Structure 1
Amino acid sequence: MKEKEEDSPRLRLESYIAMRVKSKRTEQGLKIIDVARIAGLSQGMVSKIENAQVSTSLDTLSRLCDAIGLPISQLFTDYDRPEGTAQLTKAGEGMEVVRRGTEKGHTYQLLSYHRGKKKSYEPFLITMDDASEVFPTFSHPGQEFIYLLQGKIRYRHGNHLYDMGPGDALSFDAEIPHGPEVLLEVPIQLLSVIHYDDQ
């Protein structure tokens, strides 16, 4: 299959150089005429480089970089850097899901839906607001990390009880029964991250 012209490495490189040069020039508050004069190049050549319309020699590129204060060693720093596919979940936009604690007054918001080729972790924002409710204990595979954001809670893990306030964190083996024992101060909001062992 013939490679599309706009996807060729040569044109990608020229577009990258054009973007970096123009960005640095405008950041420095320089006009094309100023850069051309300092670098000893024609305005037309500088304009063509900034619009990815010409391939340029290393000597010309070096003079141009000197004129705009961009070390040529830094020019290609970000070239060929992977695109990245991070997922941003804005406040309040987590996907509400049903889990065992839902019927007991827990609200679960799943904060990340894309976790690679296999499920390796699940991050939840959990909200509890009924101090009179009796809560069950949970047991499931993996390691769990909880971080209390708001309120106060007495949390059970096995035979141990932990009093937690905002900023406190607890990590444990999630196969051992665990869960809130007493809601000391509501509303409670905590971040729970469950990491699953290799499956």
Structure 2
Amino acid sequence: MDEQLKQIGERLRGLRDVLDIPVSEMAETIGISSDKYEKIEAGEMDITISNLMKIAHKYGVSTEELIFAEAPHMKSYYVTRKGQGMSIERTKAYKYQSLVGGFVNHKADVFIVTVEPKPEAQVVYKNSHPGQEFNLVLEGKMELYIAGKTIVLEEGDSIYFDATKPHGMLAMGDKAVKFLAFTVE
């Protein structure tokens, strides 16, 4: 499996060990079985950004610490230069670049998300997480599926929604879509 998944799994196991959290509690936090959660820690199964956010929020760590193994250090301000934010490619189709990763105790997670088009129509994975989310399309066009609705968003369009509702996206056409994702509880 992907080396990044193994590293995230190791950090999750480390967090659980340090805080003496049973596997069953961690699995319950993200709504999966203990067996599946153990596969995540072993790097054999992927974990969504929204589930990492749930864990980070519940146990008082930053999402970036779980994803990138870097603790924020800046307290007054944090600048992210174009193309320089910490990034992770979650799958071949999704890339997340953190824009706030270096700021201590940030109240929101802000990412530039790039979604590659899928050659043929596929089932869109939907997830949910605490709080609210704002998306602004920077490039391309996407379908956003939220709470049983399909909304087409083009460059310059934005949406603000209840992130506890199941949601997912799909790039439209033959070009990747790039959007700003801002989540806050």
TM-score by length of 1: 0.50
Q: Deviations over 1:87-119 (max 9, x none)?
A: 110011010136xxx225100001112444x45
Q: 1:183 aligned to 169, 172, 180, which one?
A: 172
**Aligned AA (2:164):** E
User: Which stretches of structure 1, 4 residues or more, deviate above 6 A after TM superposition?
Assistant: none
Q: Distance in 2 between matches of 1:85 and 1:119?
A: 11
1:120 to 91, 107, 112: 107
Looking at structure 2, the residues matched to 129 and 97 of structure 1 have their Cα atoms a distance apart, in angstroms, of 14
Counterpart mapping for 1:26-41 below 5 A:
none
Q: 2:163 aligns with which of 162, 174, 197?
A: 174
Conserved in 2, the CA contact under 8 Å of 1:153 and 1:185?
Answer: no
1:88 aligned partner, one-letter code: V
How many residues are treated as equivalent by the alignment?
Answer: 109
SS in structure 1 at match of 2:182:
strand
Alignment of 1:1-199 (within 5 A): 85-97=76-88, 102-103=90-91, 105-116=93-104, 118-132=105-119, 134=122, 135-181=124-170, 183-196=172-185
Shift of 1:186: 1.6
CA contact (8 A) 1:150 1:166 kept: yes
CA separation in 2, counterparts of 1:108 and 1:182? 15
CA distance in 1, matches of 2:139, 2:126: 21
Deviates more, 1:133-142 or 1:186-195: 133-142
Output the amino acid matched with 1:143: Q
Match of 1:23 in 2: none
Asked whether the 8 Å contact 2:117–2:170 carries over to 1, the reply is no
Structure 1 unpaired stretches of 5+: 1-83
| Runs of 5+ unmatched residues, structure 2 | 1-74
TM-score normalised by L of structure 2: 0.53
Instruction: Kindly indicate whether the alpha-carbon contact (under 8 Å) linking 1:152 and 1:188 is maintained by their aligned counterparts in 2.
Output: yes
Task: Tell me the C-alpha RMSD between the 2 structures.
Answer: 2.0
| 8 Å CA contact retained: 2:133, 2:183 | yes
Overall identity of the aligned pairs, in %: 28
CA distance, structure 1, for counterparts of residue 101 and residue 147 of structure 2? 30
Q: Deviation of residue 169 (structure 1)? A: 0.2
